[in-house]
Structure 1
Amino acid sequence: MTLPRRGSTPTTSTEGPHRQIDQLAPPELWGRLVAAVFALPEVVEGHSQVSPASSRAVFLTDRQVESSPERSLAPGKRLEPVHLHGVDDTSVHLVLPEDRGRELIDLGWAEPHGYADFGTEFMVYGPRDEDELATVVGIVEESLAFARG
């Protein structure tokens, strides 16, 4: 069960690229988020196919092709269910089932991706502390499971 995120939601951009502007993860915590995500089983880091160069794509080693386009941030290309934005942003773009994404929005953890095509694309805000780090990594794991579908 995901608990509500404390405080107000961060400010995010209204024009591309879709990014988080305030309430960023501290640099050390952001680095730990990156390390934790790439320590997950059967993932590998790569260059995002759809996000600025400072972003890190999360690719699956056990699946390279999407089972359906709504399970990837880069439909029709290599399966990219998640990418982590750089230290100047610290948010995470990922795919989730629509109902789970709406739940995370209601709990204050996420918002719809600014350029969503399928309603499964979301921005999850960067973690501000240890508890939030664990929650965000857990949400990334949910996204990877959804992508494997």
Structure 2
Amino acid sequence: MIDTPRPGPRPTVSTEGPQHQLDQQATPELWGRLVASVFALPGVIEGHSQVSPKSSRAVFLAEMKAARTPETSLFPDGRLEPVHLHGVDDTSVHLVLPVERGARLTELGWAEPHQYEDFGTEFMVYGPRDPAELAVVVSIVEESLAYARGD
């Protein structure tokens, strides 16, 4: 579990919806590696996000169709969607985490609360700028999936 600060200043994030990262995005190659790494995780299915722009990719869990509790999904009224990856023009990730963990990642500079949070569990994680940050972002996605599963 990552507990080191993200180097440098936070990226600029939109103040009007949908929430997206405006600078410090991943390169297209690094974003492609992020997408490939996330969809190579065990039990993950790629789909269309129920709540994000068309360029986003939803991360669904093969073994779970419904959220175990509403705060474990970005779309509590539909299929369980604990994570979605924004497109190559944005490269950030929206996901759910326990409130305390999301607050810690926010303190460390990796994340910020989701613009439209309902439960305090919804966060934006910034797109990775290099391979080391890619590993961190993928590990945060894994934390989100574990939270959604109840692990």
Please report the TM-score for the alignment, with normalisation by the length of structure 2. 0.98
Q: Which amino acid aligns with 1:62?
A: E
Match of 2:56 in 1: 55
CA distance in 2, matches of 1:146, 1:62: 14
Write out aligned runs for 1:67-86 (5 A): 67-86=68-87
How far is 1:34 from its partner?
Answer: 0.1
CA distance in 2, matches of 1:72, 1:104: 18
Match of 2:99 in 1: 98
- Is 1:135 matched with 2:149? no
Write out aligned runs for 1:1-149 (5 A): 1-2=1-2, 3-149=4-150
SS of the residue aligned with 1:101?
helix
Identity between Structure 1 and Structure 2 (%): 73
Runs of 5+ unmatched residues, structure 1: none
How far is 1:76 from its partner?
Answer: 1.6
Q: Deviations over 1:52-94 (max 9, x none)?
A: 0000000000111101100000012000000000000000000
Q: Which amino acid aligns with 2:123?
A: F
Aligned residues: 149
Runs of 5+ unmatched residues, structure 2: none
SS of the residue aligned with 2:50?
coil
- C-alpha RMSD of the superposition: 0.5
CA distance in 2, matches of 1:78, 1:104: 26
